[in-house]
Chain A
């Protein structure tokens, strides 16, 4: 990955992934960049901005998917975050949720921490994902269309190579109580 500037932004990758669905899925984002860019891509009551620790979004999304089996759930994780909760992929494989997918946005840095490089920056996330989910359920975002995505079994992992942002996303501007109240209303609707 030599020229990172040609890659999409994290915000655009999130918007593209959400647009794969015919109806808005629940979107569960990790603390920091993923929550900031998810909100910047479009605030929605079905967004659940996780406040930490890093990497927990995949586990939170699994719990949500288990109690809302008729709804689609998309977890949004950064490469640094997912590496902190890599075991959640094994748990998800075991739980076999038919409504859960993970979007991995790989910018190769801890964007919220002075863009320090991640230890996984040279890792082949597609190979990692395929080891857990199989080749048919792990693919690059750039290879997906809504029509193809509709035919992909879940759980699934989407890998998106994204450009490191020149600045952090805008602050969420939401308190935990506001996030919980708004999401609860959307989840019960």
Chain B
């Protein structure tokens, strides 16, 4: 899959449109193949800054800084990246009650059987789901208003929310790679 192929992926376009519809103050992330098209679209957007972090835990800090100032912030990482960041997620997002949105590509699904992803998914289920609200979606078939709806939930709950996107058998193109 080429870079141009990522950028033209329908899942990436749809996710970007949903992100833009939420009018975020910033978006931050560390790339995953399934997020590449969306990240490139965010980085090119004139409507909000995209902050490319060197490490996923930083993303939680960046989002927390924006949320502390009352702005909407979105994090985009792979499941393994969120696992690296649980201390920050707990001590900033949960402790301060910050309503940011974390988009996680939940690799290692039935339709995404890379051997190196399987344990990440199992650790995600064991480690993340007990401590935070996770809503699961097909990466190739989610509602256009997903991100605005996630912010409404997070702002009502006064806590961060996690959207787990995965490849599903029989689904459409989806966010690729």
A residues engaging B (CB < 8 A)? 28, 31, 48, 50-53, 56-68, 85, 87-88, 90-91, 94-95, 176-177, 179-180, 183-184, 187-188
Contacts and interface: CB of A to CB of B under 8 A. Distances in A.
B148 interface: no
Contact of B58 (A52, A85, A184): A85
23 contacts: A28-B65, A31-B91, A48-B65, A56-B92, A58-B61, A59-B53, A60-B61, A60-B65, A63-B26, A63-B28, A63-B64, A63-B67, A64-B68, A65-B65, A66-B65, A67-B73, A85-B58, A87-B53, A87-B55, A87-B58, A88-B54, A91-B55, A177-B97
A67 B69 contact: yes
**Chain A, interface SS category:** helix
Most chain A CB atoms below 10 A, which of B26, B62, B63: B62
Contacts, number: 126
Chain B interface bracket (under 10, 10 to 19, 20 to 34, 35 or more): 20 to 34
Contacts of A59: 53, 57-62, 64-65
A115 B49 CA distance: 39
Given A48-B65, A51-B95, A65-B65, 4 more contacts: A59-B61, A63-B26, A63-B68, A87-B53
A26 to B, nearest CB: 9
A94 B69 contact: no
Interface of B: 25-26, 28, 49, 51-55, 57-71, 73, 87-88, 91-92, 95-98
Contacts of A64: 65-66, 68-69
Contacts of A60: 61-62, 64-65, 68, 92
Contact of A176 (B49, B58, B67, B96): B96
- Give the interface centre of B52, B69, B88, B95 by most chain A CB atoms within 10 Å: B69
